[in-house]
């Protein structure tokens, strides 16, 4: 059996809701393909990178108390808000952030949710290492963290992860802060973590310069491909 085929798309200019609906359509196609036993054809999996406009999303296990601003305040800043079906709590998506969505039928990869999250974390850690940023995992929290050069923080999160799985077909994925406007995180308790020693950061914040989003994205894509061992197809 050959490597799984993953179609990659970098979607620009679409609303959060439109991309969410598109993900769900792709997930349902893979589930239907599974029910039909693929008709003898290998399935096409999907990987999407996008850069959303300002939006807060609350996972199914999250608390709305972790959203600290009213609808009127969100509207004044042009920030949308959605309750969605991924795991995890509340997070922010916006310009300068690569939000990556994996729509994979894990029957063709592996049946291990912890390994799935680990491999996404590893791809981000490897990408950051190429820029001289030493990143790591937390034993308590998912995602990728960077030691904080501050007396007020111990670690800052640079990538959040939240996944939903139905019949072993994945949905949602990760949010990787590249040039992200970090002040938007002040309106929420990111990922529901109330530890004052933990904050958020971005590549721009760590390196002191604006990054080229597509160049970082290309390196991240390469690392995901090597870790998940798939054949890449461009959409």
Strands, E, within the chain: which ranges?
5-11, 44-50, 55-58, 80-83, 90-93, 97-103, 144-147, 155-166, 169-177, 198-200, 231-234
Predicted structure pTM score: 0.95
Instruction: Out of 128, 191, 200, 220, pick the active-site residue.
Output: 191
* Residue 94: strand, helix, or coil: coil
Tell me whether residue 191 is one of the annotated catalytic residues: yes
CA atoms of 142 and 94, how far apart (whole Å): 20
Q: Which domain holds residue 110?
A: 5-234
What count of other Cβ atoms lies within 10 Å of the Cβ of residue 101? 24
The CATH number assigned to the domain holding 10 equals: 3.30.930.10
- pLDDT by residue (tens digit) across 95-119? 999 999 999 999 999 999 999 999 9
The secondary structure of residue 1, as a DSSP letter, is -
pLDDT value of residue 192: 85
Total structural domains in the chain?
1
The pLDDT tens digits of the residues spanning 20-52 come to 999 999 999 999 988 766 556 789 999 999 999
């Amino acid at each position: 059996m050959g490597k799984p085929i993953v179609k990659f798309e970098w979607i620009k200019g679409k609303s959060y809701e439109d991309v969410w609906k598109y993900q769900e359509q792709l997930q349902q196609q893979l589930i239907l393909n599974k029910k039909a036993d693929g008709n003898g054809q290998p399935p096409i999996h999907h990987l999407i990178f996008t850069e959303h406009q300002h939006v807060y999303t609350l996972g199914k296990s999250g608390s709305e108390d972790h959203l600290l601003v009213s609808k009127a305040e969100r509207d004044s800043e042009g920030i949308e808000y959605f309750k969605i079906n991924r795991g995890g709590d509340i997070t922010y998506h916006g310009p300068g952030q690569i939000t990556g969505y994996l729509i994979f039928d894990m029957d063709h990869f592996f049946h291990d949710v912890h390994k799935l999250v680990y491999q996404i974390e590893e791809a981000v850690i490897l990408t950051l290492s190429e820029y001289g940023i030493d990143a790591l995992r937390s034993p308590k929290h998912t995602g990728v963290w960077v030691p904080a050069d501050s007396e007020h923080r111990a670690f800052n999160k640079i990538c959040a992860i939240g996944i939903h799985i139905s019949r072993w077909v994945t949905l949602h994925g990760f949010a990787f802060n590249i040039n992200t406007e970090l002040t938007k995180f002040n309106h929420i308790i990111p990922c529901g973590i109330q530890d004052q020693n933990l904050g958020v950061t971005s590549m721009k914040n760590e390196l002191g310069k604006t990054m080229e989003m597509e160049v970082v994205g290309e390196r991240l894509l390469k690392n995901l491909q090597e870790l998940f061992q798939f054949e890449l197809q461009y959409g």
